[in-house]
Amino acid sequence: MSKRSYGQYCGLARSLDVLGGRWSLLVVRELLDGPARYNRLLEGLPGIATNLLAERLRELEQAGVVQRSLDADSNSVVYSLTPWGSELRGVVTGLVKWSTPLMISGPQSDTFQTHWLSVALSSLLDNKHTDEPRAVGLEVDGTLITVRTDKSGISIALDDDAQPETVLRAEPMVVLGLASGMLTAEQAIAAGEFRGNKKDLADALSPG
């Protein structure tokens, strides 16, 4: 029991032996957005100490959650999730959904990064679908998020070059409130500046 394990033959305990360390699941969250280099992870995890990130990456690699590879072009280390690690998406999604009450209230001083919203939106809207395909833009914190819905489901894209007709400029909390169903479309619209078609926006973001 050197590396402080719970020492229990229980699925949850063994999962937490791997993922329960501080920052571990947040590292997984970053990598769910795709492979990333060390410094990119540092930026996405404000507050983490450099030694801790290195340690967590080593632990997760040894456990088989993360794999490191060498990018041929830049000749630098790239981290990504293994197939088994990618299966954590459902758990992360579940926690994001569960957190909705914590997002509506709570401290305003927390830092915010736009790509975190893409995880949250994927989670909250994951059973959303519409007969007519739509592409709606959200301008949050200077970044455009494109939400596409069709009958097969939804997809979230950051840094997309598409120019959707409808664009909402709003605060993260308003977007989350609308997506989680805790704000009505009218309340959300009243809280933001808009260009384009407001109804499209409400349709795209109201949970199915």
161 binds, among DNA, its own copies, none (CB under 5 to 8 A by kind): none
88 binds, among its own copies, DNA, none (CB under 5 to 8 A by kind): its own copies
Q: Is residue 181 within the footprint of its own copies (CB under 8 A)? A: no
Which uninterrupted H or E stretch holds 16? helix 11-19
Q: Which is nearer to DNA, 31 or 57 (CB)?
A: 57
Q: Is residue 38 within the footprint of DNA (CB under 7 A)? A: yes
**Using CA atoms, how far apart are residues 121 and 157, in angstroms rounded to an integer?**
10
Strand, helix or coil for residue 1: coil
Q: Which of 44, 38, 32, 42 lies closest to 69 in space, CA to CA?
A: 38
Strand, helix or coil for residue 148: strand
Q: Kindly give, in sequence order, each residue whose CB lies less than 8 Å from that of residue 50, ignoring residues fewer than 6 positions away.
A: 42
Q: Which is nearer to its own copies, 135 or 178 (CB)?
A: 178
190 binds, among its own copies, DNA, none (CB under 5 to 8 A by kind): none
Q: Cα 25 vs. chain centroid, distance in angstroms?
A: 12
Which of 21, 35, 153, 196 binds DNA (CB under 7 A)? It is 21
Which of 58, 97, 195, 199 binds its own copies (CB under 8 A)? It is 97
**Using CA atoms, how far apart are residues 183 and 187, in angstroms rounded to an integer?**
6
Residues 58-97 that bind DNA (CB under 7 A): 68, 76-77
For DNA, the binding residues (CB under 7 A) are 3-4, 21-23, 37-40, 47-52, 54-55, 57, 68, 76-77
